[in-house]
Amino acid sequence: MFKQHVQGNHTVLSHPKYTSQITLDWFDANYWQQQNKIVGAKKGRATAWFFKQDKLTAVLRHYWRGGLVGKLLSDQYLYPGLEQTRVYKEFSLMSKLLELGLNVPTPIAAKVTRSGLIYRGDIITQAVSGAKSLLDILIERPLNNDELENIASTLALFHIKGVYHADLNINNILFNEDGDVYIIDFDRGEIKQPNAQWQQANMARLARSFLKEQGRNNSFYWQVNDWKTLHTIYKQKLSA
């Protein structure tokens, strides 16, 4: 499992392998920039910073609120107790998914910083080696049948294990350098009793993601038949 320790108003969760190395500085992108250890960044609603420390390449992400609430409160959340924070829930879920043998990034560390009734949070995960997202690939070329099967099989396995992803989209599905499929970003995710209703809703969300990006990108190699193939294999694996 993972370690937990308190430092002032910060609670730090850490993978046992890295506990002795982690300081509060690890959660500060400026710290890594000053050491010239930033090796990349992924822009989205929030920036994810990639840094390299010895043999570890990791991703640092701050928790930001979305929607209209986000415009007012940005990164502030009402503190419900440590184990009910989004940070703790995501870190512990990813630790559990690793134990289940699922392809998720290794959770390295997380920090919950409490200030009165509110908290802010950060999480560090190990970068997936040579990762390219589904979006990155589809902007360049179509998926082949093996890749479609890998995606479908991975999604089915997660669903068989009861893994609910709150934001299943083509940015959160990655291929590593060996062609293995990984799923990332488990904020608000959970393990549920397997059920056709939420599984189908997850897949419907993914289908909308393909269509959304198709409308957004001039170059996007995705056909209706690709979805039919992916979904057919997914259903076969789910009921196998």
Same domain, 32 and 68: yes
Same domain, 52 and 155: no
**Which pLDDT does position 240 carry in this prediction?**
82
Domain boundary pick from 94, 126, 158: 126
Structure confidence by residue, pLDDT tens digits, 151-167: 999 999 999 999 999 99
Same domain, 114 and 9: yes
Domain with 176 in it: 132-238
Report how many domains make up the chain: 2
Same domain, 27 and 93: yes
12, 14, 16, 17 alpha-carbon torsion, rounded to 10°: -120
Same domain, 153 and 219: yes
Identity (one letter) of the amino acid at 80? P
Same domain, 117 and 180: no
Q: Do the bridges between strand 173-175 and strand 56-62 make them parallel or antiparallel, or are there none, so unpaired?
A: unpaired
Same domain, 188 and 228: yes
Residue 19 and residue 180: Cα distance in Å, rounded? 28
Same domain, 58 and 164: no
| Cβ–Cβ < 8 Å for 143, 107 | no
Structure confidence by residue, pLDDT tens digits, 42-70: 887 678 999 999 999 999 999 998 755 54
Catalytic residue among 25, 54, 136, 167: 167
For the cut 60, the answer to whether the pLDDT of residue 227 exceeds it is yes
Same domain, 153 and 233: yes
Same domain, 7 and 122: yes
> How far from 71 is each of 62, 79, 97, 167, CA to CA, in Å?
16, 19, 32, 20
CATH number at residue 149: 1.10.510.10
CATH number at residue 45: 3.30.200
Same domain, 105 and 219: no
Domain boundary pick from 126, 142, 170: 126
Buried b (16+ CB within 10 A) or exposed e, 155-193: bbbbbeeebbbebbbbbbbbbeeeeebbbbbbbebeeee
Same domain, 79 and 51: yes
Domain boundary pick from 93, 108, 126: 126
Q: Mean pLDDT over residues 185-207, rounded? A: 97
- Say what the pTM is: 0.94
| Residue 178 annotated as catalytic | no
